[in-house]
Amino acid sequence: MTFNVKKIFERVTGLVFAVMLLFLSIGIIIGTIRLFALLYDLIVSKHIMTNYVHVISQVLALFILIELTRSLVEYFEVKRVRLTFIIDAAIVFVLRDVMIGLFESKLEVMTLYALSALLLVLGLLRIGSIVVHQRYLMLNRSYGRGEIIDEDELS
């Protein structure tokens, strides 16, 4: 019986990710059920704006959970975490805070500038990851056919 550390690590990591995926899926189901309960409160309430902000906040929180779940599913399929899913979740998280802060008029100007700069950086990272991925795909396709690509073609 041989002791293979890599196989043990992969099994333990797979088990941990499976448990995380299970809890995230349960969280999405519970969040969806609570969202329907919030919709009922929105219908019967006289203060629509207060409940409306809460409904939007919950919907955006569900988007964040879904993006994180997608990154875990991608890990199971490809055995690597895609940066775009995590950046998407971060963008939705920051946008959620900005939208709620602006709607409730509780966001200070400097905080808005900081969050805007963060959104700009996250957006640039998202675009950069797409460009790098497309370049990687183009290189793999050309090397698979035995072609030589000039550096100018990649720009």
DSSP symbols for the chain: ----HHHHHHHHHHHHHHHHHHHHHHHHHHHHHHHHHHHHHHHH-S-HHHHHHHHHHHHHHHHHHHHHHHHHHHHHHHSS--HHHHHHHHHHHHHHHHHHHHHTT---HHHHHHHHHHHHHHHHHHHHHHHHHHHHHHHHHHHHHT----HHHH-
The phi and psi torsions of 147 (rounded to 5 degrees) equal -85, 160
pTM of the model: 0.65
Residue 114 has a pLDDT of 94
AA identity, residue 15: L
Residue 144 has a pLDDT of 61
The alpha carbon dihedral of 43, 96, 89, 132 has a sign of positive
How many residues does the structure list for the chain?
Answer: 155
Per-residue pLDDT of the chain (155 residues; tens, 9 = 90+): 567 888 888 888 888 888 888 888 898 899 899 888 888 877 887 776 767 777 888 888 888 888 778 877 877 777 777 778 788 888 988 988 888 888 778 889 999 999 999 999 999 999 998 888 888 888 877 766 555 544 444 44
Residue 147 has a pLDDT of 52
Chain-centre distance of CA 39, in angstroms?
25
Domain spans, the chain: 5-113
Phi-psi domain of 149 (left: phi exceeds 0; alpha: psi -120 through 50; beta: other): beta
Residue 113 has a pLDDT of 93
Chain-centre distance of CA 108, in angstroms?
26
**Residue 52 contacts residue 42 (beta carbons within 8 Å):** yes
